[in-house]
Structure formats: C-alpha cells, structure tokens
Amino acid sequence: MPVSYFLVLSALLFSIGVYGVLARQNAVLVLLSIELMLNAVNINLVAFSALLGQTGVPGQVFALFVIAVAAAEVGIGLAIVILIFRNRQSVDVEEMSLMKW
C-alpha cells in the first residue's frame, strides 16, 4: 500500500487541528485540537516505522514517547485552565490578555 496515503491522511488531520487551534475560543477546545495535531504526528511516525520494517521499530518507540508527553501536557494544561477559570470565571482565550501590553 503506498505510504503517501497515510502521509496525506496525517497531513489532513494536522490541518484540521491547526484550524481548531486558530478558530476556537474556549481554552479546553484548543487543547482538544492540539491532541488532533499530536495524533497526526504519531500516524506519520508509525507509517514510517512500517515502511522501514524491522529497522523502523524505533519509530513506534517515538510514538509511545509522544503519547506519554501528550498525557503530561494535558494534565498541566487542564490544571492551568482550571486555575484561570477559578480566578477569572472564563476560559475564553481572547480575554487572557493580562500579559499583553
């Protein structure tokens, strides 16, 4: 099966994630879109791993590391979002302009 099928599908998933990050206003939905982008990267890694066969096994290991780091990122990100909600009663990314001059 041509490897470009998987690469184009992952590019599509990444672009949908980029659209979500740019167009969403709710901080938790921005985090959801970031998860889509991380998944697109993982699909690429696993597809290249399958392309290389036995020598491509480190590609799967990289995908596992990406999943672990994504779990850590979601934990910290949601903690920050909940803290902001507690202080400002809003998770609107447009209103988080306190550090902008």
Partner 1 sequence: MATIGHQIVFWIIAVVMTVAAVAVVTARNVVHAALYLVGALMSAAALYILLLAQFVAWVQVLVYVGAIVVLMLFGLMLTNAPIGRASLDNNQRFLAAVTAGVLFLVTSFIMVRAFEGQSIDLVREQGTLTESVGEVIFSAYVLPFEVVSVLLLAALVGAIVIAKRD
Site residues (CB under 8 A) for partner 1? 1-9, 11-20, 22-29, 31-33, 35-36, 39, 42-43, 46-47, 49-51, 53-54, 57-58, 60-61, 63-65, 67-76, 78-83, 85, 91-92, 94
CB-based contacts of 32, cutoff 8 Å, min separation 6 = 20
CA distances from 48 to 11, 12, 33, 41 (A): 14, 17, 23, 11
Taking the complex as a whole, the smallest distance from the CB of residue 20 to partner 1 amounts, in Å, to 4
Taking the complex as a whole, the smallest distance from the CB of residue 55 to partner 1 amounts, in Å, to 10
Q: Are 17 and 37 in contact (CB under 8 A)?
A: yes
Nearer to partner 1, 78 or 99 (CB): 78
Q: How far apart are alpha carbons 45 and 99 in whole angstroms? A: 37
Q: How big is the chain, counted in residues?
A: 101
Taking the complex as a whole, the smallest distance from the CB of residue 49 to partner 1 amounts, in Å, to 7
Nearer to partner 1, 56 or 101 (CB): 56
Taking the complex as a whole, the smallest distance from the CB of residue 101 to partner 1 amounts, in Å, to 21
